[in-house]
Amino acid sequence: MLRKITALFNRKRMADENMLLQTIDRNNIPNHIAIIMDGNGRWAKRRGMPRSLGHRAGVESLRNIVKLSSEIGVRYLTCYAFSTENWKRPRDEVSYLMDLLVEYLEKEVEELHKNNVRVNAIGCLEELPQKAQDALSKAFRKTENNPGLTLNLALNYGGRREITDAVKKIASMVDQGQIKCEEINDDLINQSLYTFGMPDPELLIRPSGDCRISNFLLWQLAYTEFWLSDVMWPDFQRLHLLQAIISYQQRERRFGGLIKK
Ligand code: FPP
């Protein structure tokens, strides 16, 4: 009986997904989507499971969303996997997350490479455990020439830290006489951020019901469209990404100006 219900449920989900796939405007896919992968802990707690299993289930969602993003032509997908504040969590949880990162990279890199995905990361990577740095370097090297989606993992990432680092870089350029103070502008700041060379995200997705930025891409999200959902990240499916993109496609982006009618 349960198997029958699951099969019916899956069939309905596939039908909904196909319908949305036909609805999205392929000429207006966001170039850059950012995701705060939130809700793993609550997802697990509701099921009477340890938080670690919520994170593990979150990896499945990440796999599905990377695959779909790559299929529909998203250029950059930035996923918040570990913030500069997450070190405050119990040591066991931090250690589990780092191991999960290594496991994810080791297991997935072949598949990512096959799908032309380039693996990249933003954040203070040099402060990550050595095994995580090694797994990242390996994945970067293997996929560096791939022309498809760039999967940008935000690891030990903090928006304030990124801006502070950029300010330090620019201050030292001024200090050394390479530029004058008056020459500091948006472009130079963009070039000094971890996301140098990437367009700002057009769409930010935050599942799990919270409505905050949580120190994510503070500069880059200035005019990004937000899509918020109560779905916990481990329950986030392809269907939800398609819904978010369709919602984005229906919005009028004015960037503080007016639309000429
Ligand atoms: C926030 O949910 C999630 C994190 C701090 C970790 C995100 C990590 C994953 C999705 C695992 C996959 C990533 C890689 C690259 C291995 P939370 O734990 O704060 O959830 P809660 O708000 O319900 O407690």
Q: Evaluate: CB of 81 within 6 angstroms of ligand 1.
A: yes
CA–CA gap between residue 13 and residue 181 (Å, rounded): 56
Protein residue whose Cα sits closest to atom 7 of ligand 1: 81
**In whole angstroms, what is the distance from residue 90 CA to residue 191 CA?**
35
C-alpha to C-alpha distance for 154 and 156, rounded to whole angstroms: 7
25 is catalytic: no
Mean pLDDT over all residues of the chain? 96
Q: In terms of C-beta density within 10 A (0-12 exposed, 13-18 middle, 19 or more buried), how is residue 89 classed?
A: middle
- Number of Cβ within 10 Å of residue 155's Cβ equals 25
**Against a cut of 0.85, is the pTM above it?**
yes
pLDDT above 70 coverage of the chain, percent: 99
Of 51, 55, 99, best ligand 1 pocket probe by most atoms within 8 Å of the beta carbon: 55
More confident position, 80 or 256:
80
Using the predicted structure, report yes or no on whether residue 34 has a pLDDT greater than 70: yes
Distance 234 CA to ligand 1 centre (A): 9
- pLDDT of residue 224 exceeding 80, the answer is yes
The confidence band for 261, taking pLDDT boundaries of 50, 70 and 90, is: low
Across the chain, the runs of DSSP E, i.e. the strands, are 32-36, 76-83, 118-122, 150-157, 203-206, 225-228
Residue type, 96: Y
Active-site residue flag, 200: no
Residue 5's pLDDT band, with cuts at 50, 70 and 90, is confident
Nearest CA to ligand 1 atom 1: 38
